[in-house]
């Protein structure tokens, strides 16, 4: 059972709801698993696109930011990726954060939580494929929350996930139970 779970906030847009969704997801995880949960906001990790001269699989990191990112990710035993679905995929900032490293992800269990106007299943499928390519162990249950059209168009950056996504709580509980078995 993982003892340190990193919850990755996969969006950096202004007016994003991802931090609130990630905190709610983590709060449910804390009820299910006896683990330390840490939220990691990609807004705090401005990793440049292709900022390292070597491929990540070598682990030959030259920049201080990539070295710090490597240490942060290596310290996690499992990961929960919380991501909005953008145009049937996931945000470029999340792909960039994943692609900066390799060995640090390998062998670790991962849970995928998505949200969007259509629930995020296409985003989750793509992310699952990439995590598998990184030799992670993504669990099968991938909760995807549907946002109302009103919520999307308001773009206010505010949401009460416990109220708005209450019907998906059982799926989150199931996913955390699966994560705990890995």
Per-residue pLDDT of the chain (182 residues; tens, 9 = 90+): 789 999 999 999 998 999 999 999 999 999 999 999 999 999 999 999 988 899 999 999 999 999 999 999 999 999 999 999 999 999 999 999 999 999 999 999 999 999 998 889 999 999 999 999 999 999 999 999 988 877 777 777 788 899 888 999 999 999 999 999 98
Residue 133 to residues 126, 128, 174, Cα–Cα distance (Å): 11, 9, 24
Domain count for the chain: 1
Domain boundaries, position 42: 4-181
144 torsion bin: left (phi>0), alpha (psi -120 to 50), beta (else): beta
Can you tell me which residue has the tokens 């440049």? 48
pTM: 0.95
Q: CA distances (Å), 60 to each of 31, 51, 158, in order?
A: 38, 12, 40
| 80: its two tokens | 């929960």
What are the strands, taking DSSP E only, across 117-176?
A: 137-138, 144-146
Decide: 120 and 91 in contact? Cβ < 8 Å. no
CATH number, domain containing residue 141? 3.40.50.360
**What is d(CA 102, CA 131) in angstroms, rounded to the nearest whole number?**
10
Do 99 and 56 meet the contact criterion of CB atoms below 8 Å apart? yes
């Amino acid at each position: 059972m993982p003892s340190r779970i990193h919850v990755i906030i996969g969006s950096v847009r202004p007016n994003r709801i991802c931090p609130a969704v990630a905190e709610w997801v983590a709060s449910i995880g804390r009820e299910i698993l006896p683990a330390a949960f840490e939220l990691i906001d990609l807004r705090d990790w401005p990793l440049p696109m292709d900022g390292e001269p070597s491929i990540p699989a070598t682990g030959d990191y030259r920049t201080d930011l990539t070295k710090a990112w490597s240490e942060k990710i290596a310290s996690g035993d499992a990961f929960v990726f919380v991501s909005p679905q953008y145009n049937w995929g996931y945000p470029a900032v999340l792909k960039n954060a994943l692609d900066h490293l390799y060995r640090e992800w390998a062998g670790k269990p991962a849970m995928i939580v998505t949200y969007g106007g259509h629930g995020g299943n296409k985003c989750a499928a793509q992310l699952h494929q990439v995590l598998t390519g990184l030799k992670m162990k993504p669990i099968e249950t991938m909760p995807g929350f549907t946002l109302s059209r009103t919520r999307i168009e308001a773009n206010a950056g505010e949401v009460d996930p416990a109220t708005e996504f209450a019907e998906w709580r059982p799926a989150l509980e199931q996913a955390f139970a699966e994560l705990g078995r890995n």
